[in-house]
Amino acid sequence: MVTTEARPVTELLSGGIEDASAERRVEPRRPPTWRELGLQSMSATLVESLSQRGSRFFEARCQWPRWHALNERALAVTHHPLLMAESARQLAAVLELRYLKGADDNRLQPVSVSLGVDLKAQPVERGVASDVLVHVTVSDLVVRVGTVAAYRLTAEFFHAGTRFGSCGMTLARPSRPRREAASMPQPGLLRPAPAAVGASAESDVLLARGTQGRLVIAPCDPGHPVLLPGRPALLPALAVMEAGRQATLLYRGALPSAVAGMAVRLDGSVPSRGAAVEVAAEGGASRFLVKAGEEIAAMGTVTLLRP
């Protein structure tokens, strides 16, 4: 990400040259509230703390509930891989609120996300919640007219001293919707069973098939508390990534425990209902395209390995 207005990260982080404004100053050790994280309820909170360890480095602690909305309902739960991306998104919210100078109330949104998980090292929770340590790095900050316009966050996830995954996320201003990006009605939809798309419940299913067999995004719960909080008119990046994961599992007939990596990039506006999803297999990976009308609005990959 290149711009003539980019400045070093040390000029943009609290604890560097100057402090945050009085209105934005927050005790660094106070846990973030669910409202600060932009969540709909306390139950969706994953981040417990974020502390600065250097000019570009932070350490965070997260707690992943066994009964999180995306997790399967089982005695022994392997956490949904999207919890890494959602943790990174929540960490970005805390970062903008407490450390980034020039960040305003119009919070930046993920425009590209990639994550990878070690299938043998990821935590399995049999109790209440998994305690997760996160090493966070901030880079590629872009400032326009004194306001942070974009940056990249990289998060490394550890449980019981073992690294089990990572997530990279680029955040920027959300794109403005095009007229053709409006939600499109889809009559006669046939929804797959939750197990076929790796969903823990029917409310988590994002896909359906039209009368001609075309796979489209049609969330069963248009106000899903994690994927679609606040019933957005446009799908956020994490929901698009989950739609790609579900489409890949359906297309490949694979188990969710085989997902070792995911990535998505938004190239345009994705309507909350009616966008088509196409999947193509390439060895152990699958590529997916999301189309709004005839335009490619997003693309991504899902890597499948034998767990």
pLDDT tens for each residue of 182-194: 555 566 788 999 9
Q: What is the pLDDT of residue 281?
A: 87
How far apart, in whole angstroms, are the C-alpha atoms of residue 165 and residue 162?
A: 9
Structure tokens at 277: 């999803």
The predicted-structure confidence for 244-272, as pLDDT tens digits, reads as follows 999 999 999 999 999 999 999 999 999 99
- Size (the chain), residues: 307
Q: What is the pLDDT of residue 20?
A: 36
How far apart, in whole angstroms, are the C-alpha atoms of residue 133 and residue 157?
A: 6
Give the chain's residues under pLDDT 50.
1-7, 14-28
Measuring CA to CA, how many Å separate 41 from each of 38, 121, 187, 227?
A: 9, 30, 32, 13
Structure tokens at 278: 């196409």
